[in-house]
Structure 1
């Protein structure tokens, strides 16, 4: 089997934001980190009245700390070399796909017809004395 080299990963560099308009950010962020933060912020706003978010009293911690922590976790942590979202997606796909495959296609087992007739053999027990 021949390996085909592909250099497409060179062009898939994630874009980094250093400033928004004239406001310089204290640290650079990527577009995916910004998307995670905004999505988590909307989730906190929508689910803020439900526990455990309703138990957090500080507004700064609730509306900035929780989304920032989730964003950091989702962008830095890896399982099996994958980001958490991709890991959950691939694990869910593994759970849902058929387990018996042949050449990548699901194996459909044919119905097994069990014959109702049973053959029995009569046996006799002989008690013999050995020499």
Structure 2
């Protein structure tokens, strides 16, 4: 996805997904306020263990609800981010002009911050051509 040659960055790049594994009655999940706090706790624990981590968050678009998912994740990010992380949002566009929200998330202290941002912006620009 990124045009990076730095092995340390490549080895510390992860995709971040929030999936509903079990839904026996096929109802829309409740708007439980604990979900956001749980997602953030998992995310923070991960970054404590991998301080050079680069997360790429792509909203699932299989059911057309990707913008709803992005809005919910953005709400959680704004509510719980204590200025430790930086998030950059973009849209990937496929050959059929379908748009997919994507976010890059890194710790502000990541030593490769400039190189990561540059690669992400370049990838986004190449995708829009």
TM norm structure 2 = 0.22
Structure number with larger C-alpha Rg: 1
- TM-score normalised over the length of structure 1: 0.22
